[in-house]
Amino acid sequence: MNLKIPARFLIITAASYIIAFLFFLILNNFKFAPRDIDIYFRSGWIIYNTMLQFFNYLIPVQAVAIIFTFSVFYPEARSASGFDMLTTRVFSKFVTIIIIILLSLTALFFVGNEIFKPRLHRNIDNYTHLTKTSRAYLEQARAAADDGRLFDAEEAVRRYLAIKEDDADGLTLLRAVEARIENQYSAKSIEDEESADYADNLDLSYDDALRLARHYLDIEDYYSAYYYAQIASGLSGSSAESGSISTRAWTALSRTEPSKEDEEEFRLFSEKKRGTELLLAGKPIDAYYLFNQLNVDHPEDPDVLKYLDESRRKTRELTYFTGEAEEALNFPGINDIAFLNSTDEFERELVYFGKMVTIPSGTYFRNIEAIRFDGTGVNRHIIAEYGKLSGDHIVLNGIDRENSNLKIYPEYLQTDSMPELYNTLKLNVEWTHLSGLGGSDIYHKMSLIDLIEYEPVISGYGWMVEPLYIEIITRILNPCGFIILSLAAIALGWKYRRFSGRVPVAGFILLPVVVYITALFCETYLYAMRLLCSWIFLSFGKPAAISLLAASQIILLLSAFLLIAGLSSGSMDNSRESGSAA
């Protein structure tokens, strides 16, 4: 096959990429350990790990492709005087095109590394976590079913199935538990999630509230009309129209007050009225429990459903439901977050979260600890099992969804003054930055954009900025490494190319050796660059580091080009060709 170098190069590169991918795929098939990762996640784990390793070893893979292109599969033009005579001319002609292709591959390498690798790391970590969590749920479900705690078992198995949707063990257990429940208890109504979502999104303005009040008055839903008119009054301070609607609705409600004979209806009416008053009086938690109880007794009542959702929404602004927090914190998240929450001349506050999880319903925390201290000792030390983000605060007290007596509060181990908002922890950091506050070991899993975003603020959060900055420089140098090593591979491959017309079979038999040594070389070069940039940055500071490192990369790049230019002149090859021919 008489292909030109660019075509050969592209084919060999594609073949190398495919072989490398397949190699990692097979390797990860063997590496997969069901003890650590559930068999359910096997395919995903293998694919993501394969992709991650592929990106990690992309530079050596590319270098091997180049070495084979320029050292083994270079085009030959046989002539009477020798088989190799025209290759120098071929080399000079096509090396420019190869360099252009390499620049394009460098851009792809950079983008691929920065976009895909952080996601791959995240997905692999998620599998590890989901394995642990799902196994814990199944164990909980089985234990609860054995103990006869059927609702606990049902909940645990449902959580398990939320992770492993069509798992046979989980489905069998769920059916068994449901059958036992049906035998013992009547079926319970399932909460209408859609209406909850609607309520969550409800954020009324004065105009909205007034419009709703008018609407409900028109359709003779006086109860709702009264409620929204009251909200409108609250939002505007005083409004003649909302006051008027409120009065008219209340009058209508008084007219429709049920007779004393119908005690149940009357009780429901009174309770609804009390609940609405609690809501309007700023006691949504009490209102929630009241409407929640009414919902059990009157599940069809539209007013009860509506105000249950409303009270739940408002409750979530003040506290969190412990069940929700427990459920959310079983999802993958960020572990071991620590940061300096506030610092001034006199006092500092250090905060630790065992875990943080962000899901659509909010951001939850587990094992929260905050310690405030000054030169004389600790001023405040708070711990809380769970917390939920609300604005720039973390709400630390939680309530049970059903039982108003079950509440958890933060524990004040030591305090000289209470926080401004009781049972809350004020965050002085941007909450979106929390995921990067776990120490320097996580920087390699973050994208370059994230690292750049953290650089100006990380020091204020109590972590050293230098390791992060070195990581940024190293990441920026990686594409330079890709192109420099590729050019070096061209030069080395060409200089030490095969000197016989025979294809070196040993090169294919010893392909693992070629790959290993190339990978070792690439790793050594990249590590040397890391050492160099660390030393320059730590010794001479940021501006000097930028200039010196840019200069070093330009010098290396020019050296590589000069090396290739020297080789393509052909002067070095003539002697060899004559030598080998002899």
Residues that bind another protein (CB under 8 A): 67, 71-72, 336, 338-340, 343, 348, 350, 352, 367, 369, 371, 373, 375, 377-378, 381, 383, 385, 413, 438-441, 443-444, 462-464, 466-467, 470-471, 492-493, 496-500, 502, 504, 506-507, 510, 513-514, 516-520, 523-524, 526-528, 530-532, 534-535, 538-539, 575-576, 579
Strand pairing class (398-399; 407-408): antiparallel
Closer to another protein by CB, 117 or 313: give it: 117
CA distance 61 to 521: 12
Strand partners, 353: 337, 368
Residue 283 or 576: the one with the smaller Cβ distance to another protein is 576
Task: Report the nearest approach of another protein to the CB of residue 539 (Å).
Answer: 8
Nearest approach in angstroms of CB 288 to another protein is 28
Q: How far is the CB of 179 from another protein (least distance, A)?
A: 39
Here the tokens at position 205 are: 């303005």
Name which of 58 and 212 has its Cβ closer to another protein: 58
DSSP codes joined into one string, 393-440: EEE--EE-SS-TT-EE--EEEEESS--SSTTEEE--S-GGGGGG-S-G
The number of beta carbons lying within 10 Å of the beta carbon of residue 496 is 12
Q: How far is the CB of 159 from another protein (least distance, A)?
A: 24
Nearest residue (CB) to another protein, 53 versus 224:
53
CB of 244 to another protein, least distance (A): 54
Q: Is the dihedral of CA 261, 262, 263, 267 positive or negative?
A: negative
Taking the least distance from each CB to another protein, the nearer of 260 and 502 is 502
DSSP state of 366: E
Farthest CA pair distance, the chain: 121
Question: Min. distance of Cβ 340 from another protein in angstroms?
Answer: 7
Instruction: Give the nearest distance from C-beta 531 to another protein in angstroms.
Output: 5
Question: Which ranges constitute the DSSP H helices of 32-149?
Answer: 42-56, 58-71, 87-147
Within 8 A by CB and 6+ apart from 128, the residues are: 36, 37
Minimum distance from residue 486 beta carbon to another protein (Å): 15
Closest to 366 measured CA to CA, from 430, 322, 317: 322
For residue 174 the two structure tokens come to: 């769920």
What is the distance between the alpha carbons of residues 234 and 41, in angstroms, rounded to a whole number? Answer: 52
411-415/320-321 β-pairing: unpaired
Q: Provide, rounded to whole angstroms, the least separation between the CB of residue 366 and another protein.
A: 10
CA angle 340, 342, 347 (to 5 degrees): 105
In angstroms, give the least distance from the CB of 461 to another protein. 8
Alpha carbon distance 55, 499 (integer Å): 33
| Residue with Cβ nearer another protein (41 or 339) | 339
User: Are the beta carbons of 546 and 490 closer than 8 angstroms?
Assistant: no
We find the least distance from the C-beta atom of residue 322 to another protein, in angstroms, to be 16
Give min distance, CB of 394 to another protein, in A.
15
Nearer of residues 361 and 580 to another protein, judged by Cβ: 580
Q: Please, which residues have CB within 8 angstroms of residue 163's CB and are 6 or more apart in sequence?
A: 130, 133, 134, 137
Distance of CA 322 to the CA centre of its chain: 23
Tokens representing 476 are: 């920026």
- Residue 329 token pair: 């914190």
**What 8-state DSSP symbol labels residue 188?**
P
Rounded Cα–Cα distance for residues 182 and 217 (Å): 43
Give the helix/strand (H/E) hosting 368: strand 362-374
Residue (153 or 458) nearer to another protein, CB = 458
Compare residues 362 and 467 and give the one whose CB is closer to another protein. 467
The single-letter DSSP state of residue 561 is H
Residue 162 or 519 with smaller CB distance to another protein: 519
Which residue number, 173 or 470, has a Cβ lying nearer to another protein? 470
Select 53 or 311, whichever has its Cβ closest to another protein: 53
Nearer to another protein, 228 or 469 (CB): 469
Question: For residue 307, what are the contacts with CB-CB under 8 A and spacing of at least 6?
Answer: 227, 272, 275, 276, 279, 287, 291
Residue 380 Cβ vs another protein, minimum distance, rounded to whole Å: 11
CA 134 to chain CA centroid, Å, is 19
